[in-house]
Amino acid sequence: MDPNNETALRKQWTTLFKQAVDEDSWGQVVEAQEHYVKLGGLITAKSSAMQNVASADRDLMNRLALCLSARAKVLRSTAEATEKDISHADMKLLSPFFEKLFVPSAGDTKIPIPSSKYESAPPCKPVAVGIVLSGDDDEPVATGGGATQMPAESVIKAAKSVGGTLVAVRIDRIGLKDAQVYINPTMTVIVADQLGTSLDTQDTPVAVEKRVNHVVFNNTVYLRVSLEQMQKEGCGIFFEFKHFKPKKNKMSVRCWAFMEMAELRKDEEIVLEIYHKPTDLRKRRLRLHSEKDLFLHVFPTFVKGGGGT
């Protein structure tokens, strides 16, 4: 993200946070709750949209959003707050951490609030504030299901850069029996050769929806290895489902799936079995993640170097 955008975003969030904390201290419960929720939604939306954010910044954003959600939940509750709940005093401690966002030399970003006070808070619903495309002014490409993806010009450039046929994989949804419990779920897509050597690794934004038995991504990943190279080297495409663990303060792999070249078909829904962690890029240790009929659903398509499909 452009440094100027980072600075503007940091200032905007800091101002909104100060407003919410002030309202909280003045006893303006409704206003404080609304602004905590709004800011949490803005942070969650930006975390989902930012592809190249540093892992430390993403972790801090996740924790700040959870704290905002937890405090809003306390303000909504009719029960008397206890020492186990996140307090107004706790929220005041977060102010310096908004100033540390997107600052490489910010130092320690571990917030001084016990994770038990916010880890069970419901994830903030992303607040749509428009589409930011990393400084690109060209029109975004819309794919099935309403997801906004790379600008058309960027897709053509990506197709040319791989030196062959560009493979785009739309990750639709993954079936999980406990789909609603995961915090800020993402998918890491890996292209690996027969020896298990990673040739390309990319992360999706945070999932857009959580249903009873499915986490929905509706996000397209443009692989940086051509179809021809993948076929020549007998590659597989791997999908790691990850989620944020507040107690460990990191993203963790929950399960994974893979697609062989023989399964890679243009413009068709591909249904993949889901395996228990850890991810094995050589596919020697496979253990189904669930006995239920739950799968990963993806839709590949191909883009030629000249821009045609």
pLDDT > 90: what percent of the chain? 46
**114: Cβ–Cβ under 8 A, 6 or more apart, which residues?**
none
Same fold, 3-117 and 144-303: no
What are the tens digits of pLDDT across the range 202-240?
Answer: 998 889 888 888 999 988 899 999 999 999 999 999 999
The owner of tokens 């020492």 is: 83
**276: Cβ–Cβ under 8 A, 6 or more apart, which residues?**
255, 287, 288, 289
Task: Provide the residue type at 14 as one letter.
Answer: T
**Tokens (6 digits) for 283:** 């596919």
What are the tens digits of pLDDT across the range 59-115?
Answer: 888 899 999 999 999 999 888 889 999 999 999 999 999 998 888 876 778 899 999
**Which of 43-57, 104-118, 138-152, 185-199 has the highest average model confidence (pLDDT)?**
185-199
Q: Give yes or no for residue 2 having a pLDDT over 70.
A: no
Question: Does residue 172 sit in helix, strand or coil?
Answer: strand
Question: Does residue 278 sit in helix, strand or coil?
Answer: coil
Cα distance between residue 223 and residue 175, in whole Å? 23
Cα distance between residue 203 and residue 291, in whole Å? 27
What are the tens digits of pLDDT across the range 23-66?
Answer: 999 999 989 999 999 899 888 878 766 666 777 888 888 899 99
What are the tens digits of pLDDT across the range 116-127?
Answer: 999 888 877 776
Cα distance between residue 299 and residue 309, in whole Å? 14
Cα distance between residue 245 and residue 96, in whole Å? 23
What confidence score (pLDDT) does residue 42 get?
87
Domain at 3-117, CATH from 1.20.120.360, 1.10.150.670, 1.10.240.10, 2.60.120.1090: 1.20.120.360
Mean pLDDT of the chain: 83
DSSP string, 3-26: HHHHHHHHHHHHHHHHHHHHHHHT
Task: Provide the residue type at 275 as one letter.
Answer: Y
pLDDT band with cut points at 50, 70 and 90 for residue 276: very high
Query: What's 144-303's CATH class?
Result: mainly beta
Backbone φ and ψ for 259, nearest 5 degrees, come out as -130, 125
Q: Calculate Rg over the CA atoms of the chain.
A: 21
In three-state form (DSSP H/G/I as H, E/B as E, the rest C), the secondary structure along 29-45 is HHHHHHHHHHHHHHHHH
**Tokens (6 digits) for 260:** 């062989």
- Distance of CA 30 to CAs 25, 37, 72, 150, Å? 12, 11, 9, 39
- Let me know: does 205 contact 216? Beta carbons within 8 Å: no
Q: What is the pTM of this model?
A: 0.56
Backbone φ and ψ for 153, nearest 5 degrees, come out as -65, -35
Domain ranges, ordered by start, for the chain? 3-117, 144-303
Cα distance between residue 11 and residue 45, in whole Å? 17
Cα distance between residue 192 and residue 239, in whole Å? 11
